[in-house]
Amino acid sequence: MRLFYEDERTRYSAHLRHIDKVLSKLRGKKLENDNGVLMTKTGVKAKKRGPKSVWGKFILDQLEQANTPLSYKTLVKRGLEFKKLDFNSEGLVRASILNSAFRLRSIHGKIATVSQFGKKEKFLVKASWLDETGAMSKEHQDMFMKMTGGAPERVDVSKLPKPRYDEDLNPL
């Protein structure tokens, strides 16, 4: 008896998803109800277009491996080692990392920049390391204080964008 109702529930939920998809096509809705992901005119989840930068994945991987906030200078140095480039290519690597960090911060919302009050140097942190008030987790805050000698400023998490594509909901 239990299996019968579980099967019925599965069948009805699939039928309801189908009805929602058809209604969203008819209304011309561009966002999915559940998570706000962009939809195409045919009701299929939209995919990103164009070539994907290797530097965005590099930045996220470096933050994951280090498990600590990283400065742009550190990322550029690691990027030169990663690509096995000489010091003359530092400007190109720096520009690529700045561009990718901007995209990860302002479009995808996967990272944020944190600084110490009154200091110029910025550090990159993963958005998942921040709580709803914009403060870093205790572990990451302690690491930041060891590196800089001061406490980090809070990040305005309300300005972090929400993912617009289905593939952004899952990590790279």
Mean pLDDT by 10 residues, the chain (172 residues): 89 88 66 61 68 85 91 92 86 92 86 84 87 82 82 73 63 47
Residue 41 within a domain:
no
Is there a contact between 107 and 161 (Cβ–Cβ < 8 Å)?
Answer: yes
Residue 64 within a domain:
yes
Residue 28 within a domain:
no
Residue 42 within a domain:
no
Helix axes 54-66, 72-83, angle to 10 degrees: 110
Residue 29 within a domain:
no
User: pTM for the full model?
Assistant: 0.66
Residue 120 within a domain:
yes
How many C-alpha atoms does 56 have within 13 Å on its Cβ side?
A: 18
For residue 143, the enclosing domain spans 54-166
Residue 159 within a domain:
yes
Residue 109 within a domain:
yes
CA-CA distance, 71 to 68, in Å (whole number)? Answer: 10
- Single-letter residue type at 165: Y
Give the pLDDT score at 37: 66
**Could you give the number of structural domains in the chain?**
1
